[in-house]
């Protein structure tokens, strides 16, 4: 019978690596702004987009359960970091966008998060970083993951 060595099993390694990197970055926004990981995911998704988007889109982009995103959205709305805007195509649906306060928080955090990312990737050469980014993109593409800030069509956004 074949045995599975978890430390050579790519899904395990990616999950473990993702959890460790996420924890390392979360200290930046938890300590400075009292944000948890789901709240940061909402802010980060909205922060690099030009237009408002739905909570469903955020859940799909971040691969976070919709109830977790919903709780994060509620907390961020209460802190006035997000606001709801009416969807012009469907008046029953609201989209989300950062408030001025949310945008300022996002812009304040970006330099420290990018610096932390560079520290984490510091063990790789410039070429290895490019290769790593390209290979991650290929895997994300093969799994149908969102890889762009461009708006998704209604079908893709479900």
DSSP calls for the chain:
-----GGG-HHHHHHHHHHHHHHHHHHHHHHHH---HHHHHHHHHHHT-SS-B-HHHHHHHHT--HHHHHHHHHHHHHTTSEEEEE-SS-TT-EEEEE-HHHHHHHHHHHHHHHHHHHHHGGGS-HHHHHHHHHHHHHHHHHTT----SSPPPTTTT-
**All structural domains of the chain with their residue ranges:** 10-142
Task: List per-residue pLDDT tens for the chain, 158 residues long.
Answer: 889 999 999 999 999 999 999 998 998 899 989 999 999 999 999 998 888 999 999 999 999 999 999 999 999 999 999 999 987 777 777 899 999 999 999 999 999 999 999 999 999 999 999 999 999 999 989 988 876 655 544 334 43
The CATH classification of domain 10-142, taken from the options 1.10.10.10, 3.40.50.720, 3.40.50.2020, 3.40.1010.20: 1.10.10.10
pTM of the entire predicted model = 0.82
């Amino acid at each position: 019978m074949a045995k599975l060595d978890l430390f050579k099993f790519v899904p395990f390694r990616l999950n473990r690596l993702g959890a460790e990197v996420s924890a390392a970055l979360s200290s930046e926004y938890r300590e400075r702004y009292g944000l948890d990981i789901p709240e940061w995911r909402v802010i980060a998704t909205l922060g690099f987009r030009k237009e408002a988007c739905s909570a469903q889109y955020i859940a799909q982009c971040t691969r976070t359960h919709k109830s977790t995103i919903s709780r994060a959205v509620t907390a961020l709305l209460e802190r006035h970091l997000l606001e709801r805007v009416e969807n012009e195509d469907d008046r029953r649906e609201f989209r989300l966008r950062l408030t001025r306060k949310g945008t300022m928080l996002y812009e304040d955090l970006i330099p420290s998060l990018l610096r932390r990312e560079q520290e984490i990737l510091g063990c790789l050469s410039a070429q290895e970083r490019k290769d790593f980014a390209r290979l991650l993109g290929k895997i994300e593409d093969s799994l149908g993951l969102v890889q762009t800030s461009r708006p998704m069509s209604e079908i893709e956004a479900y």
